[in-house]
């Protein structure tokens, strides 16, 4: 990383940060968001839910343990750009296979370092997530701002089709398979599949646009709706197909975007949060048990509690802002959570949800 390589970050309200380039050189656009995790940057980079977004890490030193071939959550990084206070020049870990800088270069991800990430995060919290750009090519802030203003916003943007697999594939059970789950890939993370696998499930992963009839033809014991990027309100065709599946009596479990889709299936509405929830330290209250879970989050939209019908109950809430963090249908074998129980990166408090779903398959 050469400190003489200049880079600039421009937000759509004109706020500008000058820094140094790391990773790939070039110009990239996306919604600027921040993640409060202290580690797990490789899992964050490869989480498809970050498609369309430039991610700022609040922890000041990123890259110190390098990158390896095992901790990826999907087939490639999906972030549009990466913002850090300091990118470590040393990668020290026995599992490391390359540096973060090399990894970003190889995957053509533009990064910027040596900016005041505290000031940036405070600005996002005050003004909200917004369109932005990182450039090592166009260093004139006003010229880059005009490009930012011409770039797409996250509202009404459908991105699941950009990250989903082209063809269905099977993920094997880690033991003798007891159940068969069909997982909709709206941006599924590998650790979700690992969790189901270790509980004795084989998983058929299908593209986001798969019809209800095609899913039922696979004869699933359960259906999983994965996380993913974009505005859930743009997923009208998918919502229509999932609504058909709710009439099949097959148990369903949704997380993140899958949770938001189920909220709409039941007649609820979604809305955009000011700056979203992203990090491994979000406090969630389980209203059924009274227990507090520390959970991993990555979402910019939420389900409106007031819009939900009487036959859907809220099971979890986010204690930071009282937003809906979990739902359950009172009559159908369907539940969902807004956060990431697969815990990659993050705590393991919520892994019980996978076991809870698998228990439903045998009832």
- Tens place of pLDDT per residue across the chain (363 aa): 445 699 999 999 999 999 999 999 999 999 999 999 999 999 999 999 999 999 999 999 999 999 999 999 999 999 999 999 999 999 999 999 999 999 999 999 999 999 999 999 999 999 999 999 999 999 999 999 999 999 999 999 999 999 999 999 999 999 999 999 999 999 999 999 999 999 999 999 999 999 999 999 999 999 999 999 999 999 999 999 999 999 999 999 999 999 999 999 999 999 999 999 999 999 999 999 999 999 999 999 999 999 999 999 999 999 999 999 999 999 999 999 999 999 888 899 999 999 999 999 987
pLDDT score of 333: 97
Angstrom distance (rounded) from CA 118 to CA 101: 22
Cα 175 to chain centroid distance, Å, stands at: 28
Backbone angles phi, psi at 362, to 5 degrees: -95, 0
Residue by residue, DSSP assigns 18-85 as EEEEEEB-SEEEEEEEEE--SS-HHHHHT-GGGTTEEEEESSSEE-TT-B-SSS-SSSS---SEEE-S
pLDDT score of 3: 53
pLDDT score of 170: 98
**Token match 């026995």: residue?**
94
pLDDT score of 1: 43
pLDDT score of 315: 98
> Annotated active-site positions, please?
256, 340, 342
Angstrom distance (rounded) from CA 245 to CA 94: 46
pLDDT score of 320: 96
pLDDT score of 39: 94
Percent helix, strand, coil in the chain, to 5, is: 25, 35, 40
């Amino acid at each position: 990383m050469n400190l003489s390589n200049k880079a600039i970050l421009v937000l759509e309200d004109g706020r500008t940060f000058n820094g140094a380039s790391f990773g790939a050189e070039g110009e990239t656009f996306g919604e600027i968001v921040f993640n409060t995790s202290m580690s797990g940057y490789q899992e964050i980079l490869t989480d498809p839910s970050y498609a369309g977004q430039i991610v700022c890490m609040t922890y000041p030193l990123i890259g110190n343990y390098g990158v390896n071939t095992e901790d990826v959550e999907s087939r490639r990084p999906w972030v549009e750009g990466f913002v850090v206070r300091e990118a470590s020049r040393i990668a020290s870990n026995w599992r490391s296979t390359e540096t973060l800088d090399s990894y970003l270069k190889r995957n053509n991800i533009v990064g910027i370092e040596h900016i005041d990430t505290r000031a940036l995060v405070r600005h996002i919290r005050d003004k909200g997530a917004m369109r932005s750009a990182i450039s090592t090519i166009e260093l004139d802030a006003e010229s880059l701002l005009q490009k930012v203003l011409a770039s797409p916003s996250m509202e009404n943007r459908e991105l699941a089709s950009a990250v989903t697999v082209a063809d269905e594939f099977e993920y094997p059970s880690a033991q003798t398979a007891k159940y068969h789950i069909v997982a909709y890939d709206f941006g599924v993370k590998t650790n979700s599949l690992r969790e189901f696998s270790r509980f004795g499930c084989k998983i058929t992963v299908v593209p986001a646009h798969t019809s209800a009839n095609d899913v039922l033809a696979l004869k699933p014991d359960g259906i999983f709706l994965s996380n993913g990027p974009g505005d859930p309100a743009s997923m009208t065709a998918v919502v229509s197909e999932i609504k058909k599946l709710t009439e099949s009596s097959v148990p369903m479990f949704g997380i993140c975007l899958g949770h938001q889709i189920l909220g709409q299936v039941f007649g609820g509405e979604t809305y955009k949060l000011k700056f979203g929830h992203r990090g491994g330290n979000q406090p969630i209250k389980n209203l059924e048990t009274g227990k507090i879970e520390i959970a991993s989050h990555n979402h910019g939209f939420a389900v409106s509690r007031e819009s939900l019908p009487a036959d859907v109950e809220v099971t979890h809430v986010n204690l930071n802002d009282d937003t809906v963090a979990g739902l359950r249908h009172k009559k159908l074998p369907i539940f969902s959570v807004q956060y990431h129980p697969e815990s990659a990166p993050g705590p393991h408090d919520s892994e019980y949800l996978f076991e809870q779903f698998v228990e439903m398959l045998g009832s």
